[in-house]
């Protein structure tokens, strides 16, 4: 009974914030916040499964289900802060695994914000947690947020590729493009978006970056068979009028982006 009481009163949002904040400089290309979040939400799912097997009150079980989808951003925050928090949640929710210029800026901004928030006594923080009965994904508008984040990543790609055209000897610039493309193709970010007019331009940018990477690093790849199949299903679900988008994904992105055997 004591354990159930503790689980029923556990401050899940504080755990999410503390796990996601990273004020240390990491050498690895992997985003530390993401790996910690993945472990935390696996832990929440394990707790929910165990509680369900014990036949306890559904209200307690529901606290640990879809926690990631119930995170809300305080609407009273300034626009830039809201944007950074939403991007941070989306990067983690869609498993954008690698550090790139945009993720590093957002991660640093949010780490600073949430790090200072941990030492604050304010009752109205930058993040809150919706009730379990809320519709998953509605807290920050996942689909619109994903598309906005994809556009920001592609803007980074265009800027970096323009620099690469001027300084072709700069392998670091090409590597910067690569990690951004890894985040776009290796995560669920793209397939979380719904087709819309700007998508064609976005896919052209990704295609150009994939080709550039393949020319410089022909043995490297972005995605395995599992991710490839999911991206294929995504583009094949496009409505009439998006045939050119489907062609770009099938014939100009995926052939360069996957490695056999994965």
Q: Indicate whether 128 belongs to any domain.
A: no
Query: How many distinct structural domains can be found in the chain?
Result: 2
Domain end residue (candidates: 54, 83, 117): 117
How is residue 114 written in tokens? 């949430």
Shared-domain flag, residues 149 and 250? yes
Residue 231 has a CB neighbour count (10 Å cut-off) of 22
pLDDT tens digit sequence for 173-211: 667 788 888 899 988 899 888 899 999 999 999 998 888
Verify that 112 and 165 share a domain, yes or no.
Answer: no
Q: Is 252:207 a contact under the CB 8 Å cutoff?
A: yes
- Residues 6+ away with beta carbon under 8 Å from 101: 156, 160, 176, 180
In a domain? residue 250: yes
69 in a structural domain:
yes
What domain range is 151 assigned to? Answer: 142-257
Residue 23 lies in a domain: yes
Is residue 131 one of the residues assigned to a domain?
A: no
- Please tell me the distance from the alpha carbon of residue 125 to that of residue 9, in angstroms, as a whole number: 19
Does residue 102 sit within a domain?
yes
Q: Please indicate, yes or no, if residue 161 is contained in any of the structural domains.
A: yes
- Residue 126 lies inside a defined structural domain of this protein: no
pLDDT surpasses 80 at 72: yes
pLDDT one-digit tens code per residue, 30-69: 787 667 777 888 889 899 898 888 888 888 888 888 887 7
Residues 73 and 156 in one domain: no
């Amino acid at each position: 009974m004591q354990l159930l009481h503790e689980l029923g009163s556990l401050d899940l949002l504080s755990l999410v914030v503390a796990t996601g904040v990273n004020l240390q400089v990491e050498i690895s290309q992997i985003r530390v916040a993401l790996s910690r979040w993945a472990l935390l939400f696996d832990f929440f799912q394990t707790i929910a499964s165990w509680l369900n097997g014990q036949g306890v009150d559904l209200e307690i079980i529901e606290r640990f289900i879809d926690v990631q989808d119930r995170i809300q951003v305080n609407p009273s925050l300034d626009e830039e802060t809201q944007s950074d928090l939403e991007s941070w949640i989306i990067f983690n929710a869609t498993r954008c695994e690698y550090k790139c210029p945009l993720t590093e800026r957002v991660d640093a901004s949010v780490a600073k914000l949430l790090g200072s928030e941990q030492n604050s006594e304010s009752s109205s923080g930058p993040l809150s947690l919706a009730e379990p009965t809320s519709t998953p994904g509605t807290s920050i508008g996942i689909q619109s947020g994903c598309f906005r984040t994809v556009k920001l990543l592609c803007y980074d790609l265009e800027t970096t590729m323009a620099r690469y055209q001027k300084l072709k000897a700069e392998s670091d610039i090409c590597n910067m493009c690569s990690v951004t493309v890894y985040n776009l193709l290796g995560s669920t970010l793209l397939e979380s978006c719904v087709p819309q007019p700007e998508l064609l331009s976005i896919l052209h940018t990704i295609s150009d970056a994939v080709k550039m990477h393949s020319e410089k690093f022909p043995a490297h790849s972005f995605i395995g068979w599992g991710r490839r199949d999911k991206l294929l299903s995504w583009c094949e679900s496009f409505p009439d009028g998006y045939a050119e988008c489907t062609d770009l994904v099938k014939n100009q992105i995926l052939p360069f982006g996957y490695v056999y055997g994965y």
